[in-house]
Structure formats: structure tokens, C-alpha cells
Amino acid sequence: MKIGIIGLEQSGKTTVFNALTGADKEVGSFGKIEANLAVVKVPDERIDWLTDLYKPKKTVYADIEFVDIPGGINDSSDPKVIAAAREVEALTFVIRAFDNPNVIHSLGDNDPSRDFEQIKVGLILADMAIAEKRIERLSKSVSKGIALPEEKIELDALEKVMKKLENELPASEAELTAQEEKTIRSFQFLTLKPYLTLLNVSDDALQSKEVAKYIKEIPNSMPMCANIEMEIRQLEEGDREVFLEELGIKELSLNTFIRGAYDTLGLIAFFTVGEDEVRAWTINKGTPAVTAAGKIHSDLERGFIRAEVFSYDDLKGAGSEREVKTAGKFRLEGKEYIVQDGDIISVKFSV
């Protein structure tokens, strides 16, 4: 899973990135244009249990790749920022709520709700630019009578999307059929992507009423004191407790963030198991087996024949694969099967 960190300029994106990943990238380097990348492991007890059972040569936890996208999202965002944001599967908005007289706010003062709207509008405008161009082209083909049937479906889908965008609503509000959704997938609309909002607050404001109010106002949001957490991440693990306690921080935001991310972003995990490797894979809820197979390898998607599936809970209950089979809990599923959280999958394929 690839998550892009975006927001207004100097809102603390790189600081948040460091705090979440333990990286040590330079902050406050205004105008830097290169994105930062880092991968973090997702802790999962189920993987620990499966490792005990299969004793594989290798265990691979799910991971989240964070991309810190520098610069700001606004009504005329840098095309590089937009292009980088299109590449990720989900977005994290970083919104400034910290006081720091040395850091100028690009919109003058702190106003998290306004900043959230600003980001939203920025994303909507970027999507409109894409939709508009494509609608224009497809409309021409339709009026000339040379449009292919899929192109007509695509045009319908884009018009539905455009209608939402024009009303300052995200593309995700458009009600699209599965087929329509497929025709517009390649545009990677930003407002179709799930998002989570991190409110970057001062350490003395974590428990404040003001912050509570913002969290209520801003969808999918959680507070975080990025500056302090970044510093704590640089300490040895054993030294962290004391600082966290002193500051009244229950745990580092990464754990809360990951739980929130799985929840809000609608993520689930499926597993592959065997003597060689026990491994977790992260996918969106509602992903069909064939697409999930593609996560493992593109050949598995291309040559997909069927998936052999049983659930982690059934395996844990039964104790072994053989018992799962005896209990009739072992299933053969086709391409369209919707993968469930905790499924253990083996893909049969031929290319």
C-alpha cells in the first residue's frame, strides 16, 4: 500500500513523514522538489501465528510505503505535486495547527478547517482539468459517430464525475457502475482516493478543546504532534517511554495511524503461506481475487485460473490445513471472488 502525504506548503509534511517512518529527512527546506520515500512494517499477530505454524524460511509483514510529496496543494498546484499524488493508492492530508512564529503559513494564519477545504478544492480542480479534456475529446467522437461502445460508457462515467466536481464534491460521490468505474480507473482521480487527515498540533494543545473541535469538523482526522514525535523516533526505543509519558502521549502515532488507515481507507490483509514464505498483503476491501493475485505478481493476474482459499480463523480453529479441508472449509474461488480480511490464498495460474 502506497500512501502519499500531501498538504499546504510548510504544514509539516516532512516532519510527519519522519515521525511516522523514523526517517531523518531535512525539514523546513522550503522549495525542495524531490519526494521522500520510506517503508514501514505493519504489525500483525496473525502473521506471527502463521509463522509459528509453517516455520517458513522467511516472514514478510505487510508494509506501507509513505511518499512525502513536497510543496503545496492549492488552486494552481504544481503539476509535479499532482502527478506524484496520482501515483499513490491513498492520501494523507497534513494540516497545520501548530504555533511557530518562525514558520510562515502560506495562507497567513492557522485555520485547519479552511486548509482542509483548500486541499479539497486543489484536488477537485486537478481532477476537473483531466475530466474536462477527456470529455471534450470523447464528445467529439460521439458526435462524429466514431466512438467505441466502451468510450460511450467512459463518457457517461466522466460526466457523472464532472457533475460532482463542479459542485465541489469529490469524484467518490459519483455513483458509478463497476463497468463505468473501470473505464475511468486509469485517470487516477485524486478525489476517488481514500484519505486520512493528520492535524499537526503543538505539544501543549494535544488535549485542548480547540483541537477536539477541529477533529470533529474535519473528516477522517486525528491529531498528532509531529515535531515531538519526530524527535522521539530518533531516540533509542528504551528511552522513548519516559518522554511519551511526560507529554501525555499514549503511543506513537504510527500505530494509531495504521489502525485508522486500515479502517478509514478500507484496507484489509490477505495471506500467502508455505514452507518458503508466510506473507501478508494489503488490499482495498472489495478487491476481486484476480486483482489481489496481481498484487503478488502480474503473471498471476494475467494467467489467473482459480484461487484456493481458506480463512485464517478457520485454520486457527482447526489447527492444520488438513483439518480445514476435512471440515469442508477449503474453497475454490474464481476471478470475481471478493477477497476477505484474513483469507489465506493460493493462486493457480498459467501464462
Ligand X SMILES: Nc1nc2c(ncn2[C@@H]2O[C@H](COP(=O)(O)OP(=O)(O)OP(=O)(O)O)[C@@H](O)[C@H]2O)c(=O)[nH]1
183 binds, among Mg ion, ligand X, none (CB under 5 to 8 A by kind): none
Would you give the binding string for ligand X spanning residues 173-212, x where CB under 6 A is met? ---------------------------x-x----------
Tell me which H or E stretch contains 209.
helix 209-217
- Cell digits of residue 337: 471472488
Q: Which stretch binds ligand X (CB under 6 A): 13-21, 121-129, 156-164, 292-300?
A: 13-21
Would you give the binding string for ligand X spanning residues 52-71, x where CB under 6 A is met? ------------------xx
14 binds ligand X (CB under 6 A): yes
- Cell digits of residue 123: 484536488
**How would you list the strands of the sheet with 2-7, edge to edge?**
36-41, 63-68, 2-7, 90-97, 195-201, 221-224
Query: What residues from 204 to 243 belong to the interface with Mg ion (CB under 5 A)?
Result: none
Q: Are 242 and 220 within 8 A, CB to CB?
A: no
92 binds ligand X (CB under 6 A): no
**Residue in this structure with the C-alpha cell 492444520, named with its chain if needed:** 320
Tell me which H or E stretch contains 133.
helix 112-144
Identify the residue among 4, 15, 180, 344 touching ligand X (CB under 6 A): 15
Nearest in space to 292 (alpha carbons), one of 351, 255, 342, 350 = 342
DSSP 260-293: HHHHHTTEEEEEE-SSSEEEEEEEETT-BHHHHH
Q: Which stretch binds Mg ion (CB under 5 A): 9-17, 176-184, 264-272, 302-310?
A: 9-17
Instruction: Identify residue 319 by its one-letter amino acid code.
Output: G
Residue 208: C-alpha distances to residues 205, 218, 226 (Å) = 5, 16, 16
Angle between helices 253-264 and 13-21 (to 10 degrees): 100
220 binds, among Mg ion, ligand X, none (CB under 5 to 8 A by kind): none
CB of 14 to Mg ion, least distance (A): 3
CB of 209 to ligand X, least distance (A): 19
CB of 252 to Mg ion, least distance (A): 20
95 binds ligand X (CB under 6 A): no
Identify the residue among 12, 70, 122, 288 touching Mg ion (CB under 5 A): 70
Query: What residues from 111 to 150 belong to the interface with ligand X (CB under 6 A)?
Result: none
12 binds ligand X (CB under 6 A): yes
Positions that interact with Mg ion (CB under 5 A): 13-14, 70
Positions that interact with ligand X (CB under 6 A): 7, 9-15, 27-28, 30, 70-72, 98, 100, 103, 200, 202, 225-227
